[in-house]
Amino acid sequence: MFFRKLRADIDAAMKNDPAARNRLEVYLTYSGVRALIWHRRAAFLYKIKLKLFARMLSQWAKFRTGIEIHPAAKIAAGVFIDHGAGVVIGETAEVETGVVIYQGVTLGGTGKERGKRHPTVRKNAIISCGAKVLGGFEVGEGAKIGAGAVVLHEVPPYATVVGVPARVVKINNSQISL
C-alpha cells in the first residue's frame, strides 16, 4: 500500500511538472513527494493513537521540507505539491487524487470552531501559489483557484475563482458575466 501511494505521488509529479526528468530524481529531490511520504508515516502514528509522535514527525518534516501537513489530514495518493515551501494543510482537510498544490497555499480554518473546519478539495483541482482556502467547505472537482485568491465559500466543480475575496469568473471554461 505504501509503495502504491508513493508510485502514484511520483506519477503525479511526472505528469504535472515538465521539469521532472525521471522517477528517481523526483523521489530523491522533490520536497512535495518527501512531505507526503512523511505525512503518511505521521498519519499512521496518529491513527494508532501515538499523537505526540505523529506531531513530532510532522514538525520534523516541516523543518526539512517547508511543508506543514497535520497528521490527521486526509491526503489521497496522486497529489502533487509543487515547489511546496509555505504550504500548510490543516487537521480536518481532505485532498483527493489528482490535486495540484503550488507554493504558499493554505488549506486552513477561520477560527476556533470545532468539527470540520478545513476544506475538502475534490479530484483534479488546482490551487495556485499563495491561495488561501479557509473553512470547512468543498472545492469542487476540476476547480481552479487563482494565485493569491482568498477562498471563503464553496467552489463549484470545474469553476475558476480569483480575487480577494475569491469569486467565480468561469465555469466549464465559459466566462461568467459579473
pLDDT for 172 equals 86
pLDDT at 35: 97
The whole domain housing 6 covers: 2-175
The residue length of the chain stands at: 178
**CATH number of the domain residue 51 falls in:** 2.160.10.10
Q: What is the dihedral of CA 4, 88, 150, 170, to 10 degrees?
A: -10
CA distances from 121 to 23, 71, 125, 164 (A): 26, 17, 7, 19
CA distance 131 to 4: 29
**What pLDDT score does 178 carry?**
59
Residue 139 binned pLDDT confidence (cut-offs 50, 70, 90): very high
Overall number of domains in the chain: 1
Taking CA atoms, 109 is separated from 2, 30, 121, 149, 152, in Å, by: 29, 27, 14, 15, 10
Q: How does residue 33 score in pLDDT terms, banded at 50, 70 and 90?
A: very high
**Angle of CA points 7, 66, 133, to nearest 5°:** 85
pLDDT in tens, 35-82: 999 999 999 999 999 999 999 999 999 999 999 999 999 999 999 999
What pLDDT does 111 receive? 81
Across 138-152, average pLDDT: 97
Residue found under cell 482537510: 93
pTM score > 0.85 for this model?
Answer: yes
Alpha carbons within 13 angstroms on the beta-carbon side of residue 163 total 9
Q: Give mean pLDDT, residues 22-37.
A: 96
Element (H, E) at 61: helix 51-65
Q: What confidence score (pLDDT) does residue 177 get?
A: 64
Distance from C-alpha of 24 to C-alpha of 40, rounded to nearest angstrom: 19
Average pLDDT score over the chain? 94
